Amino acid sequence: MQKKNSPRRFHRRTKPGAAPGVIAVDPQAPQPHIVATSYGADAVEQLEISDISDINALRGRRAVLWIDVAGLGDAAAIRQIGEIFGLHALALEDVVNVHQQVKLEDYGDHLFIVGRMVDDVGHGRTEQVSIFLGEGFVVTFQQRPGDWLAPLRQRLADSRSELRASGADFLAYAVLDAVIDGYFPLLEHFGERLDALDDAITDDPPRYIIHRIHEVRGVLRALRRVIWSHRDAIGKLLHDPSRLVSGGTRVYIRDCYDHTIQLVDVLETYNETCADLRDVYLSSVSNRLNEIMMVLTIIATIFIPLGFIASLYGMNFNTRVSPWNMPELNWFFGYPFAIGLMVLVSVSLLAYFHARGWLWRDRK
């Protein structure tokens, strides 16, 4: 049964046949927390917005205006922000439908970028982040409140930061770069998990280890698709000309593109490691089963002649009828002789098995 928080769950709230551009928010989505940052080379100003109409007063005040919306539970607020910046209705529809794949769309006067940022390092879950880049503004939408872009705000507070001296396209790049860089700690975490699984398989693999391997492999395969999509979208942003992205910013976007290639390489290696660990585990289980079968076979081989001797002496033929009928039954040392014969046969078989190298093999 699929878990409720599984990233594979898909649910679209707009009904079939609905008009395009309908903003149908999730009723359980949190209310938006809006932070407006207006900055230029000389100054920076940051405000928490409670009334959407206050954004109009900030437009044009400085070189760049950044509106960060955390939470998608208010359709009216999202629609009003879209009207202020002239954002396309289809793009706003994709903002609230958070199952979108990573992509880049050019609407002429603004670019729409969908990314997926790391939400839970331990389980490898991601959430959607939507970025709008226009002339002198950047609007970002996050699924849930959480100041994961705090390092960018700290950089904006530094007057020597290149972010302060650059335009809106560099800010959009910085957001994308923060999204991509968030995958490096995630892959480091899963690298440590793979090392732990490798150690567990080498020592004494428990039964649950194969389920852990498949769990990690499933997460890595999902992350691989996400990173590949990021690479394609950033590559499109890098190679397709747009007046909203300057040549100087493209140099930094190329570095971000290189990071996605590094992530893809690491994911490919980790996927191969998962396959190798699975093969090693299955080989280990097979070898252990073979050793168990060998021990049981040796025990059965030893007891076959012992059973023959015991059954032979258990026939109880009458010696008074014929001297050939089990004379040992009336012999004073008959029982010790039978036991000694069994011990002799067992020791002889064990010595033979040891000489053939079937017992006490070196496990190093």
pLDDT tens-digit profile of 250-291?
A: 999 999 999 999 999 999 999 999 999 988 888 888 887 887
113 and 257 co-located in one domain: yes
pLDDT tens, 26-77?
A: 888 899 999 999 998 888 998 999 999 889 888 878 889 999 999 999 999 9
Query: Is 163's pLDDT higher than 60?
Result: yes
* 220 domain-assigned: yes
Domain boundary among 248, 282, 316: 282
Q: For residues 265 and 123, state if they share a domain.
A: yes
Q: Are residues 273 and 298 in the same domain?
A: no
Across the chain, what does the average pLDDT equal?
86
- 4 belongs to a structural domain: no
**Which pLDDT value is given to residue 5?**
44
Residues 326 and 342 in one domain: yes
8 A C-beta contact, residue 138 and residue 173? no
Placement of tokens 């109409």 in the chain: 53
Give the global pTM. Answer: 0.78
Is 241 found in the same domain as 176? yes
The answer for residues whose C-beta is within 8 angstroms of residue 153's C-beta and 6 or more apart is: 37, 46, 147
Last residue of a domain, one of 263, 282, 301: 282
Same domain, 215 and 322: no
Q: Are residues 207 and 331 in the same domain?
A: no
| Higher pLDDT among residues 288 and 214, named by residue | 214
Answer for the pair 262, 231: CB distance below 8 angstroms, yes or no: no
Count of the separate structural domains present in the chain: 2
| In-domain check, residue 19 | no
Q: What is the mean pLDDT of residues 215-228?
A: 92
Statement: residue 3 has pLDDT above 50: no
**Structural domain range at position 314:** 289-355
pLDDT greater at residue 10 or residue 50: 50
The predicted model gives 79-99 an average pLDDT of 93
CA distances from 278 to 129, 191, 314 (A): 35, 16, 52
Q: Are residues 162 and 302 in the same domain?
A: no
Whether 296 and 331 share a structural domain: yes
